[in-house]
Structure 1
Amino acid sequence: MLDHTDFQILEELSRNSRISMKELGERIHLSGPAASARVEKLESNDVIQGYTVKINQAKLGYHVHALINIFTKSTYHQPYLAFLETQKQYVIHNYKISGDSCYTLECRFPSIEKLDEFLVLLNEHVNYKLSIIINK
């Protein structure tokens, strides 16, 4: 069972996972070693499953961010999933969902032209509905 201090730790690590244990302890009113022990316990209990890096996609040349709802043409999804394997440079996440569509793709593209090329190829396997993200 998580207590208030555990939730404070998770909140602080969500803001900055590179924070030192000393600074984390200061923010949540524990010593550095006590904060470290708490973090290790959260990791060993699989509450914390890893740490990530937030990447500025625009700095990498990806200026178009899109969400694409996928409507499969049959119950056999393997051709669509195989297609995605060839498009890893654009696909951030492929979520299998419930609702009107079967999947939601989160993608990024360097240009509208590359997005268009992707959509032409995608349409060979599935139908889709496109939303372009204007601002996060």
Structure 2
Amino acid sequence: MLDHTDMRILEELSQNSRITMKELGDKVHLTGQAAASRVAKLEDNGVIEGYTIKVNQVKLGYFVHALIHIWTKSSYHEPYLSYINLQEKYVINNYKISGDSCYLLECRFPSIELLDEFLVGLDKHVNYKLSIVINK
């Protein structure tokens, strides 16, 4: 069970995972060593699974952000999944979901033309509904 201090540590690390343990300790009213010990315990217990960076996709040239609801044409999903694996440079997330569709695919593309090319290939394997993100 996580206490208030553990929750504060998670909040601080979520905002800046590069914070020093001394700085973290100052923010949650612990010594740096005590904060490091708490973080290690959170890692050991699997609460903290890893540390990541947030990449600005637009600055990398991926201007088109698409959300695509996927309906497979059969119960055999492997052709779709194989196609998605080949297109990994565009795919951010491929969620298997319940509800109106089978998957929710989140992608980024450098251009509408490349999105269209992707969709032509996708159409060979599944039915889909496309939404373009206008603003976050």
TM-score scaled to structure 1, two decimals?
A: 0.99
Q: How does 1:35-46 map to 2 (within 5 A)?
A: 35-46=35-46
Distance in 1, matches of 2:85 and 2:28, equals: 43
Q: How does 1:64-79 map to 2 (within 5 A)?
A: 64-79=64-79
Deviation per CA, 1:39-95: give whole Å up to 9, x if none. Answer: 000000000000011000011110001110001111010000011111011001100
Distance in 2, matches of 1:87 and 1:78, equals: 14
Distance in 1, matches of 2:21 and 2:131, equals: 41
Identity of aligned residues (%): 73
What are the ranges of 5 or more consecutive residues in structure 2 without an aligned counterpart? Answer: none
Name the residue aligned to 1:124. 124
Give the letter aligned to residue 124 of structure 1: K
Q: How does 1:12-51 map to 2 (within 5 A)?
A: 12-51=12-51
Alignment RMSD (CA, Å)? 0.5
TM superposition outliers: structure 1 runs of 4+ over 6 Å:
none
Aligned residue pairs total: 136
TM-score scaled to structure 2, two decimals?
A: 0.99
Give the letter aligned to residue 61 of structure 1: G
Distance in 1, matches of 2:18 and 2:116, equals: 38
